[in-house]
Amino acid sequence: MLVVVFHQTSDTDPADARKLKTCFGLDDRDVVIMQNRNRGEIETWFKDLPNKAAAYDCFFFVFLADMVHPGGDPMLVKAYDKGLNLNSIMNQTSTMPQLIGKPKVFIIKADYPPLKFKAGPSDKMKIPTDSDRLIIVSSLPKDLAKGNTDSSILIDAFCSAMKEGTDDFLTLTTRINYHFNEGLFQGRKTEGASTPEPRTLPLITSTLRKLLYFKV
């Protein structure tokens, strides 16, 4: 399994990256942390992915970034220099022969400044429907996204669910949402913080064609 984490250096992103590395419990060679990378650098990394892919049977791609347009499409996030279209990245991986038939999990935490509109994945978001892919998208105001630790609610929830990992990964996503809900509605004591909306839970879609199990 190959885990790749793309993140910036704002808010909870560095802590999220460190927690994910511990959570997966993999060797350093199987966990790639990419910090403050320009869009071109990220796109180039994915173009070179086929050269690395043969050694792996499963891929986790984690994007910890801000939305380019708050209230817009969370699949358009900020790289270090400009916007990055995640739909384009996903479409790219679906056409790579070395990745066909292998599970690809995309975890996207796209935050935005506190504003007066409903939180949660936007209705404008277009989710790719290619096979062998599972996508988790969380989009929250920054003051809600942070958990009661240094890391975010989403990554806390993900790692908590992984520790319970006796089920296949798709089933475990229900536990991710459970822990996410617990983190969101408990301990929200910050005065003036945004109020969670019913649509705040992560949006999870799957076209996986096989059950995915792994131990952490």
- State the pLDDT at residue 216: 52
- Give the domain range for residue 179: 2-206
Judge whether 214 and 1 are in contact, CB under 8 Å: yes
Mean pLDDT of 3-28: 83
| DSSP letter for each residue of 56-121 | -S-EEEEEEEEBSSTTS-TTEEE-SSSEEEHHHHHHHHHT-TTTTTS-EEEEEEEEB---SS--SS
CATH number at residue 96: 3.40.50.1460
Judge whether 134 and 169 are in contact, CB under 8 Å: yes
Q: What is the pLDDT of residues 57-108, one digit of tens each?
A: 999 999 998 888 766 677 888 898 889 999 899 988 988 999 988 999 999 9
- State the pLDDT at residue 189: 47
Residue 214 in domain:
no
- State the pLDDT at residue 195: 56
Q: What is the pLDDT of residues 165-178, one digit of tens each?
A: 777 888 889 999 99
Q: At what angle do helices 13-24 and 153-163 cross, to 10 degrees?
A: 10
Q: How many structural domains compose the chain?
A: 1
